Amino acid sequence: MSDIITSKNLDDVIESNKKIRDDVIRLVNETKVRFNTSVVTSADRFAFKILKENNLIQMPVEDKYFGGAIIVKGNLRIPIINTAQPRVYQYFVAWHEIYHLFYDNNIKNETHEVKIDMEINERMADYFAANMILGNVYDYYYSLEDENFIDRIIKCMDVYKAPYKAVLIQLYEDALLKYNDSNLRKSILNNFDNQPENLIGKFEELGLDCELVKPSFIFDTGDLEKRIVKNINGNPEVTYHEDNYKHFLNIKRTVKKLVEDLSYDNR
C-alpha cells in the first residue's frame, strides 16, 4: 500500500506538487474546454455530468476506506462511486476518477481502486481533483473572522465542497510557496492528522448545511446497459459488445449483492 499523506510527509507532497503543477493546470484547462460546453458552474455537478456520460455506476458500499473504482474490461471503462461515503468525498473521488479515465494511460488492471484517504502515489489524480474544486482558499480562509482554526477549515470545506485534507494541503502549499506564512503552516501541521470525528455536528454547530458531510446512498447504473444492448443490436457481428454486456451483468450482480448485504446489515 502506498503511504498515506500525513503531517510528517506534507513537505514532500508540496515538492511533488511543484513538479507536476504545470501539467495538472494544463489538464484542468483542457477539461474545462473539452467537457464543459454546457457551462456548468458547479464543480460537483460538472464532475458527475462527465462521469454519467461515461458509464458511471453509483452504489453504496459499507467500507470506510473505499471511495470508488474504475473497472477496465477491454475498451470499456466503468467508474464507480461509493455513495455510502459523505458527499464531500464523493465529489473529490469523482474528479480523481476523471483524471484516470481520460489522462492516465497506465490503468490496465481490471480494477483500479480509489481510497478515501489520500495516498502519495495518487498525487497526480488528487492534485488534479483539488485544482478542479478549489479556488483561492488562502484569501477565503483569511476573510473569515473565526478565531478557531478548525472552524475556518470547516467553512472552507463548505464553500468549496472539498475534503478536510484537500483544503489543508492547498492552504499549506500557498502558505509555503506564495506567502511565507509560518503561523498558518504551523497550525496546519498541528491539525492535519486530527480531522474532527463528528463533521455533521461541526457543520450544524456553525450553521452550515450538513448534507455535504452525509452519504447520499444513491444506487444508479445509468444508461450503460441500454447503450450496450443498442450496440449489440446495431452491430451483431462485433463480438466485444457481447463480451461487454456479459461483463456488465457480472458487475450488476456484484453491485446487487453489495446492496443486499448493506440492507441486511442495517436491519
State the residue for C-alpha cell 467553512.
155
Note whether 62 and 103 are same-domain residues. Answer: yes
Give a yes or no: residue 102 inside a domain.
yes
Give the Cα separation of 102 and 88 in Å (integer): 22
Note whether 141 and 163 are same-domain residues. Answer: yes
Residue 266 pLDDT exceeds 50: no
Domains of the chain: total? 2
Confidence of residue 252 (pLDDT cuts 50, 70, 90): low
> Mean of the pLDDT values across residues 169-181?
98
Give a yes or no: residue 6 inside a domain.
no
Mean pLDDT of the chain: 87
pLDDT in tens, 42-81: 999 999 999 999 989 998 888 888 899 888 877 778 899 9
> What pTM did the predictor assign?
0.86
Give a yes or no: residue 160 inside a domain.
yes
Note whether 123 and 249 are same-domain residues. Answer: yes
Query: For residues 159 and 140, is the Cβ–Cβ distance under 8 A?
Result: yes
> Mean of the pLDDT values across residues 151-161?
98
Ramachandran region, residue 73 (left: φ > 0; alpha: ψ -120 to 50; beta: rest): beta
Note whether 34 and 123 are same-domain residues. Answer: yes
Note whether 163 and 175 are same-domain residues. Answer: yes
Give a yes or no: residue 1 inside a domain.
no
Note whether 113 and 49 are same-domain residues. Answer: yes
Give a yes or no: residue 13 inside a domain.
no
Note whether 84 and 31 are same-domain residues. Answer: yes
Give the Cα separation of 165 and 26 in Å (integer): 23
Note whether 174 and 244 are same-domain residues. Answer: no
Check residue 72 and give its pLDDT. Answer: 80
Instruction: Provide the domain limits for residue 142.
Output: 137-213
Give a yes or no: residue 7 inside a domain.
no
